Chain A
Amino acid sequence: MINLSDQSLIEKVRGGDYQAFEFLVTRYEAKVYRLAIRMLRNPQDAEDALQETFLQVFRGLPGFEGRSQFSTWLFRLATNVCLMRIRHRETEPSKLLPLEDYLPKLEEGEGPPMVDWADRPEDALLSKESREQMMGALDKLPPEYRAVFILRDIEGFSNAETGESLGISIAAVKSRLHRARLALRGMLSEYYQRKQDFGGFETRLED
């Protein structure tokens, strides 16, 4: 059963085969959990969202017409579950990203010079502290931007699949993705520059 396509498993589930549903869940649970933990930043909330999503999947399968791929439909449900939970919180940033804050300054005498940290050793770029900074940066994005970045750049969805999952146009996917990437790069650059200023790359602080 492990080699069956999503569609074949879905047909079995519809025929009352619960084990086929468990295979389907196992196939996608890690991806959905990753989305949820990045969106919600809290393991308990992410686990609740994971469970809620797959319960919705089970209940929705009889009406799933297969017009879109199963994975696209699944991630639409998962993203909506996460966004609903976020909307019930009060601390989430909801305004548009001030993109210019993260762009290099183009006028003379303004802003710090560009620091090329891309060729720094991976173990320094991905230290425990760096990873926490990265997740903190992701958390600063408005949820709609965060969702696009996660689906498109972390999970590897196409622009069309991401758009379909979030109910937005391809143009909106591209625009949000670009802003999200620039903002994340800007935040990471600030952090890595600070780290460099304090010799963090040279001393290779251990985790």
Chain B
Amino acid sequence: MEKDEKTTQVFSCKGMECKEMLEKLSEYIDGELDPKLCQDLEKHMADCNPCLIFVNTLKKTISLFKYASSEPLPKEVHIRLHDYLKKNCQGC
């Protein structure tokens, strides 16, 4: 039952079409969207829960990748890189 309600919500969108909105989401997240379109989009999201969820999870995806990719360079890789360069660059 819950599934049907959510699916209907997606299907019954009014105003700006969901599909059209999806195409502009990256520009919206990056603050590159024209202010008028931005307003339309926010109005749409206020009435369309699936689109709101989509935006939230899209933003979260980006921040999770950023966070998960912040590991430091392994010390031994640093040492081997500098040894390699010293050996190969001197006398280049």
Q: B68 near A104 (CB under 8 angstroms)?
A: no
Asked if residues B53 and A116 are in contact (CB atoms below 8 Å), the reply is yes
Chain A facing B: main interface SS = helix
When A29-B78, A54-B85, A106-B10 are in contact, do A114 and B50 touch as well, CB less than 8 Å? yes
Closest CB in chain B relative to A110 CB, distance in Å: 8
Q: Which one of B61, B67, B78 has the greatest number of beta carbons of chain A within 10 Å?
A: B61
Whether B77 contacts A33 by the Cβ 8 Å rule is yes
Supposing A104-B54, A114-B6 touch, asked if A25 and B68 sit within 8 A by C-beta, the answer is no
A-B contact pairs, 6 of them (CB 8 A): A18-B90, A26-B78, A29-B81, A114-B54, A126-B67, A134-B68
With known contacts A114-B6, A126-B67, A154-B66, A181–B81 Cβ distance under 8 A: no
Cβ-neighbour of A174 out of B26, B77, B81, B86 (below 8 A): B26
Contact A118 B59 (CB under 8 A): yes
Q: Chain B residues near A14: list those with CB within 8 A.
A: none
Is there contact, CB below 8 Å, between A138 and B27?
no
Docked complex Cα distance between A111 and B54 (Å): 14
Contact between chains at A108 and B57 (CB < 8 Å): no
Check if B14 is an interface residue, CB within 8 A of chain A.
no
Which residues of B lie under 8 Å from residue A138 when comparing CB positions? 65
Q: Does B58 contact A (CB under 8 A)?
A: yes
- In the bound complex, residues from chain B placing their C-beta under 8 Å from that of A26 are 78
Seen from chain A, the residues whose Cβ lies within 8 Å of a Cβ on chain B are: 18, 21-22, 25-26, 29-30, 33-34, 38, 47, 50-51, 54-55, 58-59, 103-119, 125-126, 131, 134-135, 138, 149-150, 153-154, 174, 177-178, 181-182, 184-185, 188-189
Residue of A nearest to B27 (CB): A174
Closest to A175 in B: B26
Cα separation A119 to B57 with both chains bound (whole Å): 9
**Looking at chain B, what size class is its interface with the partner chain?**
35 or more
Indicate with 1 or 0, residue by residue over B1-44, a CB within 8 angstroms of chain A CB atoms.
Answer: 01100111011000000110011011100000000000000000
Query: Complex formed: what's the CA distance from A106 to B7 in Å?
Result: 8
A50 in contact with B77 given A108-B11, A154-B69 (CB within 8 Å): yes
Q: Mark B80-92, 1 if CB is under 8 A from A, else 0.
A: 1110111011101
Contact B22 A21 (CB under 8 A): no
Contact A106 B11 (CB under 8 A): yes
Instruction: Give chain B nearest CB distance to A153 CB in angstroms.
Output: 5
Q: Are B57 and A117 in contact (CB under 8 A)?
A: yes
Question: Which of A30, A47, A118, A131 lies in contact with B56, CB distance below 8 A?
Answer: A118
Task: Give A115 Cβ to nearest chain B Cβ, in Å.
Answer: 7
